[in-house]
Amino acid sequence: MPTRTTIRSMLTEGRNRISSGRTAEVVALVRANPKRARQLLELQRSWKAPLIGLLAEATENKLRWCLAATIPRLAPTPSECRRVAEILESYLEDRSSIVKTCALQGLADLARQDSSLLPEVVDLLRIHSRSGTPAMRARGRMLLKQLESARAKSFAEFISGESQPGKFRP
């Protein structure tokens, strides 16, 4: 009886700690024929939960930063956004500056999808745009500027009655 291959096993296979596993196969699956968009959405939905689980368990820097950049793009539900945001906040304590930077980017992406995360994410960006490596500070400032300008625009739309409640649009 053949065993079922999971995305987790595909991404963690390899000869050593920095091996990319079968990442190319995962990318090929995701970039499959654009005419089969419905199947891709189902594929995305079926892999979202395992990827979020892997996000919480990942210890390797390369995997952590890739997941931090990828998962917010999978259109998580509001409860998944909050769970992912909690995990990404823990990534801000990592020793690796690229993991921290990708976590900041992921948090900003999540705040664009779930406006309830916005105040906390803006505070984190303010803190991290003053510390860390020059690249982290620059990314923090850039994300902060984007979120604050989008928040001002969203507020103006809310006042004028043009926006939908709970939906934050950058």
| Whether 147 contacts 108, CB under 8 Å | yes
pTM value > 0.85:
no
Give residue-wise pLDDT tens across range 88-131: 999 999 999 999 999 999 999 999 999 899 889 999 999 888 88
Q: Where are the alpha helices (DSSP H) in 13-130?
A: 23-30, 37-57, 61-70, 78-91, 97-113, 118-128
Sole residue written with tokens 């892999």? 47
Question: Which class would CATH give 7-160?
Answer: mainly alpha
Q: What is the pLDDT of residue 12?
A: 67
For residues 138 and 145, what is the distance between their CA atoms, to the nearest angstrom?
Answer: 11
Q: Which helix (H) or strand (E) holds 60?
A: none
Delimit the domains of the chain by residue range: 7-160
